[in-house]
Amino acid sequence: MSIGLVDILDVKPAWQSRHTIKALAKDGKSLAVKGLADLKAVHPNDYKKIMKVIRLVAENDRVQNADHVKQGKQHNDVYEMRGGQARLFFFYTPDAKQVVVCTNYYWKAKKSEDEQDAAFERCEKLRAAYLKSIE
Amino acid sequence: MKKNARSGACAQEDIWAEFEGVPTVEEIVTNNTPLDLDAAPEFVAEYLKAQFVEDIYKAMEEKGVNQNQLAKRLGKTRQYVGKILNEKANFTLETLAEFACALGMQVSARMYSRDERMAIVPVYPKPSLLLPFPGAEAFVSQGKQPIYPTERQDAGHIAA
């Protein structure tokens, strides 16, 4: 099993002045890349909204506007990007490399805290697994 | 209960189970047409708005100013400030200037090449150039152009 980081489609190198944006992949497969590709095909407007937030995350130390980025309640090290109904979960690597790792994605069809909590939980588990893999 | 039981049973390998049914990134990239978002004015404008709001939040935190205080400084209502912070209002250059001035900040609207990057760096005071003739400090402190005494032996050193 190979765990690594891959580039995200349409994210420009010029945006990444503060943080490098990557997606978590296992054996060359990524939930975040797949989710964003589907979003781009089906909901192009929400795709642009989430890309805007990705750019904000890339260019700022920490995004303070909670309309765009929300920190996990149970897990403080994981965050949610919000663009329309699209939700992309990520964490900042704890080292000095300043990488943002996008882990999982979901489409918020209706207001559901359970679904959000589960997505934060999944992000935290993927974070722990990734950090363990690079030890 | 159901949820707890499920997450409790979630073993390390289950975390990766979802990745199995997903196409590889290579396949996704091959079937994808790249989108140049920096060439889309609507995207650029939305991003600029969001980044400006982000800068307002940052400045408010640094200066210890809340929304009410900011509204007061601007001479506007709290609702107006809320509308700007929610990115619901149209921004003009005047809006940017008003918020920047109210928060004691600078603001910039520059256009530059797409292979360039703009950076914000702190300003450090330049070391003062003390001119070696009587009364030279007066020229510097008054903000006037210093007159270089070319006849003096050390003039070349100053000019260099």
- CB under 8 Å to A130, separation ≥6 — which residues? A3, A24, A101, A103
CB pair distance less than 8 Å for A12 and B28: no
Confidence tier at B150 by pLDDT (50, 70, 90): low
Query: Hey, is the C-beta of A62 within 8 angstroms of any chain B C-beta?
Result: no
Confidence tier at B1 by pLDDT (50, 70, 90): very low
Task: Please give the Cα distance from A6 to A32 (Å, whole number).
Answer: 10
Give the ipTM of the model, two decimals please: 0.92
Interface test with B, best of A65, A122, A131, A132 (most B CBs within 10 A): A65
Give CA angle at A108 (A115, A61), nearest 5°: 90
A–B CB contacts, 8 A cutoff, strictly below? 97
Tens digits of residue pLDDT in A7-46: 999 999 999 999 999 999 999 999 999 999 999 999 999 9
Write down the mean pLDDT value for chain A.
94
